[in-house]
């Protein structure tokens, strides 16, 4: 009986896991504009989340935030925009603190 509950909980947890392509194919949850360069934003997001930034053929950089099961919960796509950058934020599930806003250059009281 205990094994059934463990299997059920594991199945529910894995059902919440999303692939990179699934998350990146969604429309952005929010779009931000920053005075910081694409490289600066990507480095900051990657550094604060202990992950790497992926460079894509289309000129964007992507930083993925994964949950404990390896599923992508948040994705940031960073595009160059003039001397700054445009950040597309996609949220699949879960919560994230506001520390990432420091990377984008957003005050908690106002959005860019």
Residues 6+ apart with CB under 8 A from 85: 33, 34, 36, 37, 38, 40, 41, 78, 79
Give domain status of residue 6, yes or no.
Answer: no
Quote the pLDDT of residue 102.
86
* CA 90 – CA 7 distance, rounded (Å): 30
In a domain, 28, yes or no: yes
Structural domain count, the chain:
1
Q: How much of the chain, in percent, has pLDDT values that exceed 90?
A: 39
Q: Across all residues in the chain, what is the average pLDDT?
A: 79
What does the pLDDT average to over 54-80?
A: 89
Measured distance CA(13)–CA(57) in Å, rounded = 32
* pLDDT attached to residue 13: 45
**pTM given for the model:** 0.74
- Domain range for 32 is 18-104
Say how many C-beta atoms besides its own lie within 10 A of residue 40's C-beta. Answer: 16
Within-domain flag for 23: yes
In a domain, 110, yes or no: no
Q: Is residue 10 part of a domain?
A: no
């Amino acid at each position: 009986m205990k094994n059934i509950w463990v299997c059920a909980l594991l199945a529910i947890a894995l059902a919440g896991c999303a692939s990179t392509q699934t998350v990146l194919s969604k429309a952005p949850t929010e779009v931000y504009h920053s005075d910081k360069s694409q490289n600066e934003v990507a480095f900051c997001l990657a550094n604060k989340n202990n992950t790497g930034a992926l460079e894509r053929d289309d000129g964007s950089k992507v930083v993925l935030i994964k949950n404990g099961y390896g599923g992508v919960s948040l994705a940031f796509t960073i595009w160059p925009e003039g001397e700054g950058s445009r950040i597309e934020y996609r949220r699949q599930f879960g919560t994230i603190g506001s520390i990432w806003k420091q990377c984008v250059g957003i005050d908690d009281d106002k959005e860019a």
